[in-house]
Amino acid sequence: MKQINRVRQNRSSKDFACSRIDFSQPIHFSFNGKEYTGVLGDTIASALLANGIDVVGRSFKYGRPRGIVTAGSDEPNAILQLGNCEATQVPNVRATQQLIFEGLECHSTSGWPSTRFHLMGIFGALFARFLPPGFYYKTFMAPAKWWKYYEKWIRKGAGLGRSPNRADEDIYEVINQHADVLIVGAGAAGLSAALGASRMGARVILADEQNEFGGSLLSSNIKINDRCTRDWIDAVVAELINYESQGQLLLLKHATVNGYHDHNFLTIHERCTDHLKDKAAQNEVRQRYHRVRAKQVILATGALERPLVFANNDLPGCMLASAISTYINRYQVIPGNTLVVMTANDSGYIAAIDWHNAGRRVAAVVDTRKSHASELSKQVKALGITIIYQSAVIEARRKRLNSRVCSAVIMSMDSTGDAVKGVKKLFCVTL
């Protein structure tokens, strides 16, 4: 399949100055048994979006088709099962965090018998009205002896992956570490803090869950010292590596700080080879678990965008604005043709600008706030994009049961944001 949503421009192009992918190195992988091609630097999510894949799984209870929503560890839908053989099966991997490597095999974890035809989907569509919260507590409890019959089908119909049934042959390590300062997250804040602490002579550990340092700067078009963010990141990291070579600093990529326990005891889960291959080589460590006792901890974990709750907001094609910017700027992937942005703050405008600059159409920016003239809104207007103030997308619509979003129903809101009136319909492919 062709990467229909990929913009084939190289890094030197002005609009993709902060792209982190390498077109010269195509990578083949399979998703649900089908072969796809991505490029070096892609996550599974960006590669699937590039290939125009909308549906990556089925929802847990109603079996609704679901697509990729985010570009990071907050992803709720794109939860995959990885592994080329029984011993290397890993459930619960977020497509937005797993890099592709040659020969990677992954499957949707929800969506038996298949993501396209789904038992729960039909069940969910027919009986959705009768699936209130607490449904499983209420309905399947009685008669109790039937549970053993229900359970098998419910578990099979739902579920988020399975455990391997062969022993894992790879090597895993647990390491005890001590640090003056542990810094969680290596975005602009974490990098700055690490350099600040290192210059003061502290023993520092800097851990970040991504494959590269830089955090949100990796997907931002903002200019630092009139140059793209990559140059600033590279300069800071270069100085940090200098401290690392002196044994004063430990830099950990692919390393998620997972637990903050009593008396500044933190655990870091470092995935050493998971982004490179299915199975580690002999005598090579696949994952490390660092048990860190730190004197001081700095959380530079950034912020998550909060989605807005509206009708059918789960249709494939509805994404977070920040994720859209990330896919465009970092992976050169535009996940759709026409965009409608709904926002309650200024950050939605950035996604609209990025989308427009990538060469595809922005139908409108729908701002729930009253008319205002922020710098970003001026820029958006200058690009000829319509802004609809004090309005909201109240519902997303689709054409067929399994298709992605195709239009947005927009209504204006009263000043309290509690009621809506008037209907406007806009066609879009990504929201």
Partner 1 sequence: MLHLSCHTGGRPIWSDALCAFLADDFNKEMQCVGAANGQYALDKIIEESVIAGINAAKLSGNENHDFSSNVNKELDILKPKVETYLASKAQAIFHIPHAKATFMAPKQFVDFQLDVTAAGIELAVAEGFESIEHVKRYTALGFGTDQGKISNINGMAIVAKKLKQSIAETGTTIFRPNYTPVTFDAIAGRNVNSFFDVERYTPLHREHIKLGALFEDVGQWKRPWYYPDDNETMNEAVARECLAVRSGVGLLDASTLGKIDIQGKDAREFLNRVYTNAWSKLPVGRCRYGLMCGEDGMVFDDGVTACLAENHFIMTTTTGGAAHVYQWLEIWHQTEWPELDVYFTTVTDQWATMTISGPKARFLLAKMTDIDLNPESFKFMDWREADVVGVPSRIFRISFTGEQSYEINVPANYAVVVWEKLLEYGQEFELTPYGTGTMHVLRAEKGFIIVGQDTDGSVTPADLNMGWAVAKNKPFSFIGQRGMNREDCLREDRKQLVGLKTKHPNQVLPEGAQIILQPNQPIPMKMVGHVTSSYFSAALGHSIAMAVVKNGINKLGDSVYLPLDNGETVEANICSPIFYDPEGAKQNV
Partner 2 sequence: MFLIHCPICNEPRSEDEFHCAGEGHIQRPLDPMATSDKEWGDYLFFRSNPRGTYRELWQHTIGCRKYFYIKRNTETYQIYKTYKLDDKSERVALDKEHSNKNKFGDLL
- Contact flag: residue 141 with partner 1 (CB under 8 A): no
Rounded Cα distance between 212 and 99, Å, is: 11
Radius of gyration of the chain (CA): 23
Nearer to partner 2, 265 or 427 (CB): 265
- Contact flag: residue 87 with partner 1 (CB under 8 A): no
- Which one of 26-34, 100-108, 262-270, 416-424 is the stretch in contact with partner 2 (CB under 8 A)? 262-270
User: What token pair was written down for 186?
Assistant: 């290596």
Instruction: Tell me 384's DSSP state.
Output: T
Nearer to partner 2, 266 or 431 (CB): 266
User: What token pair was written down for 37?
Assistant: 């091609």
Rounded Cα distance between 265 and 11, Å, is: 41
- Contact flag: residue 185 with partner 1 (CB under 8 A): yes
- Contact flag: residue 265 with partner 2 (CB under 8 A): yes
Nearest CA to 376 out of 341, 334, 328 is that of 341
Instruction: Tell me 333's DSSP state.
Output: B
- Contact flag: residue 1 with partner 1 (CB under 8 A): no
CB of 179 to partner 2, least distance (A): 13
- Contact flag: residue 330 with partner 1 (CB under 8 A): no
Q: How many other CB atoms are there within 10 angstroms of residue 143's CB atom?
A: 7
The type of residue at 398 is R
* Of the candidate residues 30, 192, 264, 312, the single one contacting partner 2 (CB under 8 A): 264
Nearer to partner 1, 205 or 362 (CB): 205
CB of 263 to partner 2, least distance (A): 4
Helix (H) or strand (E) holding 396: strand 391-398
- Contact flag: residue 188 with partner 1 (CB under 8 A): yes
20 binds, among partner 2, partner 1, none (CB under 5 to 8 A by kind): none
- Which one of 12-20, 21-29, 45-53, 302-310 is the stretch in contact with partner 1 (CB under 8 A)? 302-310
What are the two backbone dihedrals, phi and then psi, of residue 30, each rounded to the nearest 5 degrees? -125, 145
- Which one of 15-23, 75-83, 324-332, 357-365 is the stretch in contact with partner 1 (CB under 8 A)? 75-83
* Of the candidate residues 65, 83, 111, 190, the single one contacting partner 1 (CB under 8 A): 190
293 binds, among partner 1, partner 2, none (CB under 5 to 8 A by kind): partner 2
Rounded Cα distance between 345 and 329, Å, is: 20
- Which residues have C-beta within 8 Å of that of residue 346, sequence separation ≥ 6? 374, 376, 377
Residues 199-228 that bind partner 1 (CB under 8 A): 199-202, 204, 209, 216, 222-226
User: What token pair was written down for 141?
Assistant: 């409890």
What are the two backbone dihedrals, phi and then psi, of residue 322, each rounded to the nearest 5 degrees? -65, -35
* Of the candidate residues 14, 145, 148, 263, the single one contacting partner 2 (CB under 8 A): 263
Binding stretches for partner 2 (CB under 8 A): 261-265, 293
